[in-house]
Structure 1
Amino acid sequence: MKVWSNREELLALVRAQMHDKRYTHTLGVADSARKLAVRYGADPEKAELAGYLHDYCKCWPVDKMFEILVRHDMPTDLLEGEKELWHAFAGAIVIQTDLGIMDPEILQAVRYHTTGRAGMTLLEKVVCVADYIEPNRNFPGVEQIRELAEKDLDAALALALGGTMQFLIEKQKTVFPLTLLAYNDLISRKGRVGGFNG
């Protein structure tokens, strides 16, 4: 059962979960997701909603997220991996149980916006790329991803995921298996990143 009836009520619920910088990021992702959805033929309403909700649990204490993940039998590799990934999986659970979001496409887009996965749907790709390119993001290579996102969503996503893995490897952190699978899936479908349109 939904606990909100309009956009303003939903945004108030989202706003209450996070600090100012994260909320600004959230609004940027929602706007970017809507624009990408229009460009590539995904549902813009679903894309915007998933953008608003993608970081719902990002600022929650890790022990609270851990409890949620354990209660819902999340895989061991997630629970033993980087805690930075937990908010996406916990968020997909919480927005369903607490906010009444039942649309499986939106739930999946929230769940995989950080890790990706093999066989991502168009909506999942849109939200994942939007999270990288929203206007408030500033990291090495973001402009190239933004430019690619205008022409080839898969190429932009492959470049973004590749950059994430490179960053993790340089920091001697683990790469979550789903991210590697997502990258390999994109590359195997279209060849190396240089083989994408763009």
Structure 2
Amino acid sequence: MKYNQAADKLSKALAPKRFTHSLGVSKAAAELAETFGEDIEKSKMAGLLHDCARGISSNNLLQMAEGFGIVVDDVELSQPILVHAPLGAYLAKADYGIDDPEILKAITLHTTGAANMSKLEKIIYLADCIEPSRDYPGVDKLRMLAMRDLDAAVLAAFDQSLQFVIERGLLIHPATVEGRNYLLQRQNI
């Protein structure tokens, strides 16, 4: 499916605010891809579809994940909204015809991150944090950092995500901790 077709279909599947966010992530991903030498078209598509499962209710997320054979961990059972990322990869393939494994993996990891992420995976994770409609303390600083140093920006985004989760008393997904630790260890090599 071409980008414009996917955008048209997605506009019908998501609430207007979520669709605007998805367009913003796509735009931010394209800018980051250009800056850091990643495939712009892949980045745009992954950014566009990263939240394609976000309009699904928490109960349905878990049921659909089970139907696709997605293994859900204890953190995701406790916070089903996290399942929208791996489920989104399945829907991107089934509903939007995306078969590029790099795009699908970037969609899967866009919420929690992980250790040893590819450049595309980092770009989508970061684009989700800095897209133009995002407005939270520190986002402008993160946007500036994102245009200079991809790993430093992803590390800062991990830190902000962890602070957000801790302040709300939520469970921390181990993949986020692993991603942060991996980047910190790479700094020290």
Which stretch of the first structure deviates more once superposed, 57-66 or 138-147?
57-66
Q: Which residue of the other structure, out of 10, 13, 18, is the alignment partner of 2:14?
A: 18
Q: Does 1:62 align with 2:41?
A: no
2:160 aligns with 163
| Residues 143-176 of structure 1, C-alpha deviations (whole Å, 9 max, x = no match) | 1111110110111111111111112112111100
- Which one of 20, 31, 38 corresponds to residue 34 of structure 2? 38
1:129 pairs with one of 119, 123, 126: 126
Moved more, 140-149 or 61-70: 61-70
**1:153 is matched with which residue: 150, 155, 172?**
150
Asked if 1:86 corresponds to 2:83, the answer is yes
Aligned ranges for residues 164-179 of structure 1 at < 5 Å? 164-179=161-176
Are the aligned partners of 1:81 and 1:176 in contact in 2 as well (CA < 8 Å)? Answer: no
* Structure 2 stretches lacking a partner, 5+ long: none
Asked if the contact 2:75–2:171 (Cα under 8 Å) also holds between the matched residues in 1, the reply is no
More helix by share: 2
Unaligned runs of 5+ in 1: 192-198
Query: 1:8 — aligned with what?
Result: 4
TM-score, normalising length: structure 2: 0.94
Partner of 1:103: 100
Letter in 2 for 1:165: L
Aligned-residue offset at 1:82: 1.6
- Tell me if 1:183 matches 2:180: yes
In the alignment, the residues of structure 1 paired with residue 100 and residue 22 of structure 2 have an alpha-carbon distance, to the nearest angstrom, of 20
Cα offset, 1:49, TM superposition: 0.4
Question: In angstroms, what is the RMSD of aligned CA positions?
Answer: 1.2
- Report the secondary structure of 2:171's partner residue: coil
CA contact (8 A) 2:58 2:81 kept: no
The one-letter amino acid paired with 2:37 is: G
Q: Give the Cα separation in 1 of the matches to 2:171 and 2:76.
A: 13
| 1:52 pairs with 2:48 | yes
Give the number of equivalent residue pairs. 187
Provide TM-score, normalisation by structure 1: 0.90
Displacement over 2 Å in runs of 4+: 75-79
